[in-house]
Structure 1
Amino acid sequence: MDAKTTPDAKRAAPEPLRRPSREEAEAAVRTLIAWAGDDPAREGLIETPARVTKAFGEFFKGYEEDPAEVLDRVFDEAGGYDDIVLVRDIPFFSHCEHHMVPFIGKAHIAYYPGQGVVGLSKLARVVDLFARRLQMQERLTQQIADAIEDGLAPRGVAVLLEAEHHCVSMRGVQKSGVSTITTSFTGVFKQDVAEQNRFLTLVRGR
Structure 2
Amino acid sequence: MAVDGERVAALVRELLEAIGEDPDRPGLRQTPDRVAAAYAEFFSGVGHDPAEPLAHTISVAQGPAPDTLPSGAVMLRDIRFRSICEHHLLPFRGHAHIAYLPGEQVVGLGALPKVVDIVASRPQVQERLGEQIADAIATSLDTRGVLVVLDATHECVTMRGGQQADTSTVTIAARGAYREPGARAELFALLGGGFGPGANA
In the alignment, the residues of structure 1 paired with residue 17 and residue 164 of structure 2 have an alpha-carbon distance, to the nearest angstrom, of: 28
User: Where does residue 6 of structure 1 map in the other structure?
Assistant: none
Residue 84 of structure 2 is aligned to residue 118 of structure 1 = no
User: Does the CA-based 8 Å contact 1:141-1:159 persist in structure 2?
Assistant: yes
Q: 163, 185, 198: which is aligned to 2:186?
A: 198
User: Does the CA-based 8 Å contact 2:3-2:43 persist in structure 1?
Assistant: no
- In the TM superposition, residue 34 of structure 1 has moved relative to its aligned partner by 1.4
User: Where does residue 176 of structure 2 map in the other structure?
Assistant: 187
User: Where does residue 117 of structure 2 map in the other structure?
Assistant: 128
Q: How many residues align?
A: 187
In the alignment, the residues of structure 2 paired with residue 21 and residue 137 of structure 1 have an alpha-carbon distance, to the nearest angstrom, of: 25
Residue 8 of structure 2 is aligned to residue 25 of structure 1 = yes
Instruction: Compare the two structures and name the one with the higher helix fraction.
Output: 1
Consecutive unaligned residues in structure 2, runs of 5 or more: 61-65, 194-201
- In the TM superposition, residue 188 of structure 1 has moved relative to its aligned partner by 1.2
User: Identity across aligned pairs (percent)?
Assistant: 46
- In the TM superposition, residue 106 of structure 1 has moved relative to its aligned partner by 0.4
TM-score by length of 1: 0.86
Consecutive unaligned residues in structure 1, runs of 5 or more: 1-17
Q: For 1:169-188, list aligned pairs within 5 A.
A: 169-188=158-177
Instruction: Compare the two structures and name the one with the higher strand fraction.
Output: 2
In the alignment, the residues of structure 1 paired with residue 153 and residue 120 of structure 2 have an alpha-carbon distance, to the nearest angstrom, of: 14
In the alignment, the residues of structure 2 paired with residue 62 and residue 74 of structure 1 have an alpha-carbon distance, to the nearest angstrom, of: 22
Q: How big is the alpha-carbon RMSD for the aligned residues of Structure 1 and Structure 2?
A: 1.7
Residue 134 of structure 2 is aligned to residue 151 of structure 1 = no
* Matched letter for residue 100 of structure 1: L
Instruction: Report SS of the residue matched to 2:35.
Output: helix
User: Does the CA-based 8 Å contact 1:169-1:175 persist in structure 2?
Assistant: yes
In the alignment, the residues of structure 2 paired with residue 98 and residue 54 of structure 1 have an alpha-carbon distance, to the nearest angstrom, of: 21
TM-score by length of 2: 0.88
* Matched letter for residue 103 of structure 2: G
User: Where does residue 44 of structure 1 map in the other structure?
Assistant: 27
